[in-house]
Amino acid sequence: MTDHTVTGGAAPAGAVAPGADAVGAKKRGPKNWRPLLLLIPAFVIVSMFFLAPLADVFIRSITDPVPGVQNYVWLFTTEANLNVVLRTFGTAILVTFVCLLLAYPYAYLMTIVSDRTRNLMQLFIMMPLWTSILVRTLAWMVLLQDTGPINGLLAAWFGIGPIPLIRTTFGVALGMTQVLLPFMVLPLYSSMSKIDKRLLPAASNLGANPVTAFFTVYLPLSKPGIFSGGVTVFILGLGFYIIPALLGSSKEIMISAMIQQQISVFLMWGQGTALGIFLLVCTILILVVVSRFNKGGSLFPGVDR
């Protein structure tokens, strides 16, 4: 008589432990959405203070003074408007390149100096952020005016002047560069501080000269900081109002000043809001395009994807 009773040893391969079905069912059950309830206050705040005003601006742009797209037609068919748009983008691009040229060596120097010197360099970068933009712009007005200290030194030392520095594109770009420079230095330093300092000596040992080693090794590795700083400076430069208004002239008007002029002076809310929507769409498109080009990194150094 054969005994089919299994005593001891491991359970059969097809056997299921008691309670396993209950555990699996619990894991496959509906997700717990309660943590998402914590997002409701943030969503309400964003909706009240950003989405709702933005929707109101868009509605005004297509309904004031009458429903239609006449405000956008006015924006893209008026030569003066196109000149303002080109001037705004051109100035923002110029300021971005100048900030990059000034910030890149400064940020690199911060990565190779001692901790004490680095802290001082960071302090010099952060100090302008603790001062009002209006105060700094008024200081530039004093320095750049025809009878200001800069023209006075040029006349005393070189016998030239006065050179028109204020109410020009140069004055506007100079003031914007001074304000936006920290927003280029900090992302560059954040990116450069993660680069292994032994890579350049290794490239030199393999036969590359310093210039080749820099452009083939160091510069590509610092690309995330360049993208992040460049996008930040460019987008901030598109929306500047105080500096172009005080250091520029009516010939140097930019989009932000034109929006204020259309709404506050001419009471043309439809045209002013159309300009604002256009600027917002341009900003979003810039972020999308740069994200495509910067596939290997993030627009925000230190924040991994």
Hey, what are 184's tokens?
């280029």
Classify 148 as helix, strand or coil: coil
Amino acid 7 reads T
Hey, what are 211's tokens?
């210039």
pLDDT digits (tens, 9 = 90+) for 67-82: 999 999 999 999 999 9
Predicted confidence at residue 166, as pLDDT, reads 87
| CB contact set of 242 (below 8 Å; sequence gap of 6+) | 133, 134, 137
Predicted model pTM: 0.79
Angle, vertex CA 160, rays to CA 155 and CA 162, nearest 5:
75
Q: 302 pLDDT band (50/70/90 cuts)?
A: very low
Helices (H), the chain: 20-27, 40-46, 52-63, 70-77, 79-112, 115-126, 133-144, 149-158, 169-192, 199-205, 210-213, 219-221, 223-238, 242-247, 255-260, 269-293
Q: Is the predicted pLDDT of residue 36 greater than 90, yes or no?
A: no
pLDDT digits (tens, 9 = 90+) for 81-140: 999 999 999 999 999 999 999 999 999 999 999 999 999 999 998 888 888 888 888 899
Amino acid 1 reads M
Cβ-based neighbour number of residue 51 at 10 Å: 11
Of all residues in the chain, what percent carry a pLDDT higher than 90?
Answer: 36
Mean pLDDT within 229-237: 92
Q: Which residue bears the tokens 């943030």?
A: 42
Mean pLDDT within 231-235: 92
Q: 299 pLDDT band (50/70/90 cuts)?
A: low
pLDDT digits (tens, 9 = 90+) for 42-63: 888 888 888 888 899 999 999 9
Give the span between the Cα atoms of 79 and 275, in whole angstroms. 14
Predicted confidence at residue 30, as pLDDT, reads 55
Torsion of CA 11, 13, 17, 22, to 10 degrees: -170
Hey, what are 226's tokens?
């360049």
Predicted confidence at residue 1, as pLDDT, reads 45
Q: Which residue bears the tokens 């520095």?
A: 165
Q: Is the predicted pLDDT of residue 261 greater than 50, yes or no?
A: yes
Q: At what angle do helices 149-158 and 133-144 cross, to 10 degrees?
A: 30
Give the span between the Cα atoms of 281 and 283, in whole angstroms. 5
**Cis amide leading into 67 (omega within 30):** no
Burial of 108 (0-12, 13-18, 19+ CB in 10 A): middle
Q: Is the predicted pLDDT of residue 28 greater than 80, yes or no?
A: no
Longest dimension (CA), the chain: 124
Give the span between the Cα atoms of 300 and 228, in whole angstroms. 6
Q: Is the predicted pLDDT of residue 160 greater than 60, yes or no?
A: yes
Query: Of 252, 107, 221, 234, which Cα lies nearest the Cα of 177?
Result: 234
Predicted confidence at residue 297, as pLDDT, reads 53
Q: 183 pLDDT band (50/70/90 cuts)?
A: very high
Predicted confidence at residue 31, as pLDDT, reads 65
Considering the chain, what is the average pLDDT of its residues? Answer: 83
Comparing 240 with 294, the larger pLDDT belongs to 240
Hey, what are 234's tokens?
């460019």
